[in-house]
Amino acid sequence: MANSISPNDPHHQPRAYPRAPLHGPIEVKSQSRLAIGQIENISLGGLLVSCEPPPPVSSELKLMFNLAPGRTVSAKAVVRHAKDKFFGVQFSELSSAAKDAIAEYCQASLGHARRSGRIQQRLLVTIRGARKNDQDELAETLTLSRNGGLLACRAKFTVGSRLELFWPEKKRRAMIEVVSSAPVGPNGLLELGFHFIEEQLDFWDIEFPKPS
């Protein structure tokens, strides 16, 4: 059952919720159009999204996005502010399951970043084995760190496998080693933890938080 959130409720303060980084596509549907935007961050109160052109302030939207591969969230929201290509939305209707999933994601994301220096970021990459006839396998990163990361894919690579990672957006390649492997749900996805074989490689070109 969906929980209705009144935009005029004085006790509802979305800015009081901590925001967690989340980078991935989002379907944005208004009365006049359907667009695909990019999520910048998320909280229990709402989202920051980039999309050109952004919808007008006070627009009522239907949103659909993934917190992680296979974990889809649908919500209704209202645009509260917009500047350049960015706009912020406040959730107006969110199911209990979606609320719990977002709360769990934000808690895990923010806590994990503080402890380990990792960040949550979804990037499309490919990985392939070292053999001549090995094919590229599509994958999506879940978390990144200076030394490696965690990704989701359907290829059955095992711990100890040495692979070539390719990041098409930046046209960068690096050799990695799989250090962990775990199934995710019933659809054949695997979560692979990996580290870069070449030490001190600034592959992601990101300023990571210091581990605490």
Q: How far is CA 170 from the centre of its chain?
A: 18
pLDDT tens-place string over residues 83-126: 999 999 999 999 888 888 888 788 776 665 554 467 878 899 99
pTM of this structure: 0.52
Q: Set out the domains of the chain in order of their start, with CATH numbers.
A: 6-116 (2.40.10.220), 121-196 (2.40.10.220)
Q: Which residue has the higher pLDDT, 18 or 110?
A: 18
Percentage with pLDDT > 90 across the chain: 38
Alpha-carbon gap, residue 128 to 141, rounded angstroms = 15
Sign of CA dihedral 50, 20, 117, 153: negative
pLDDT tens-place string over residues 30-60: 999 999 999 988 998 999 999 999 999 999 9
Q: How confident is the model at residue 210 (pLDDT cuts 50, 70, 90)?
A: low
Among the ranges given (73-82, 162-171, 174-183), the one the predictor scored with the smallest mean pLDDT = 174-183
Q: Hey, which bits of 96-167 come out as E strands?
A: 119-120, 124-128, 137-145, 148-153, 162-167
With contact defined as beta carbons under 8 Å apart, do 139 and 151 qualify? yes
